[in-house]
Amino acid sequence: MSVFQSLLARFRAPVPPIDDTLWAHALTRVPLANALDAPRAHYLRQLAASFLHTKRFHALGDASLDDFWRLAIAMQASLPALPHGPKVFKGWTNILVYPGEFNVRRSHHDAPTGVITESDDTLIGEAWERGPMILSLADVALDLEAPWDGVNVVIHEMAHKLDMLAGPANGVPPLPGGINRREWIGSMQQGFERLSKAVGRRRKTAIDPYAAEAPEEYFAVTSEMHFSRPALLREAEPDVARLLDAYYGPSPAD
């Protein structure tokens, strides 16, 4: 059987259910999931089972991945998929998990001079278009300990994956029929520009300054806030908060 046939069979095979004891334990450890109402928690369990069935986890370095940690990652990655269903998991397979921060080598080509420079970025998460999701297990653990601080690395990278369903990330994922694309682009761009100006003037901002790096980072960072600190997002950018409510559904924090 070819690699393609093996993957195809994996996607078509029945999805194994999540063990009751494991699910109950995970709910006590993943506050964002435990805060859901009963119907959404039930659907989250189905989505997490589908996620586990279609993704392959790879522990790198001395990262220790057991059934709980795989499920905790799957649960948080499935939260943004609640209104959209398992179709948003398509297009990629692998999850690489480092024990902590990891370095990525970047190459930059300066077109006018032709000079190529290389540098290392230290990251806690990354998502590649049609490639893996990469996570720091230490930061996944921190997010479980402080679930309502506006930061969640799994949701951040899952937001990038949703964004990439339409091609290279640009902050505009495929939108459901109830959301006007022009309104989304306008409101997100205005919020991004306001944040960029504030960061440029070295002002303190409610939204993490990292969101000013690019429109796709603005979408991912505000997605984290939607799930884990929505009141602050509503205060800072009410139009952006309203659009994310429409896109993701009600926040567990509400």
Q: What is the pLDDT of residues 204-232, one digit of tens each?
A: 999 999 999 999 999 999 999 999 999 99
Average pLDDT of the residues in 110-123: 65
Query: Per-residue pLDDT tens for 124-134?
Result: 899 999 999 99
Q: Which two tokens stand for residue 128?
A: 């590649």
Residue 246 has pLDDT above 60, yes or no: yes
Task: Return the pLDDT at 104.
Answer: 76
Task: Return the pLDDT at 111.
Answer: 58
Query: Per-residue pLDDT tens for 9-50?
Result: 555 678 999 999 999 999 999 999 999 999 999 999 999 999
Q: How high does pLDDT run on average in the chain? A: 92
Query: Per-residue pLDDT tens for 158-208?
Result: 999 999 998 999 999 999 999 999 999 999 999 999 999 999 999 999 999
Task: Return the pLDDT at 12.
Answer: 64
Task: Return the pLDDT at 198.
Answer: 98
pLDDT-derived band at 2 (thresholds 50, 70, 90) equals low
36-45, 103-112, 179-188, 233-242: least confidently modelled range: 103-112
What distance in Å separates the CA atoms of residue 220 and residue 124, rounded to the nearest whole number? 14
Residue 107 has pLDDT above 60, yes or no: no
pLDDT-derived band at 3 (thresholds 50, 70, 90) equals very low
* Top-confidence residue, 2 or 178: 178
pLDDT-derived band at 7 (thresholds 50, 70, 90) equals very low
Closest by CA position to 196, among listed 179, 211, 176, 181? 211
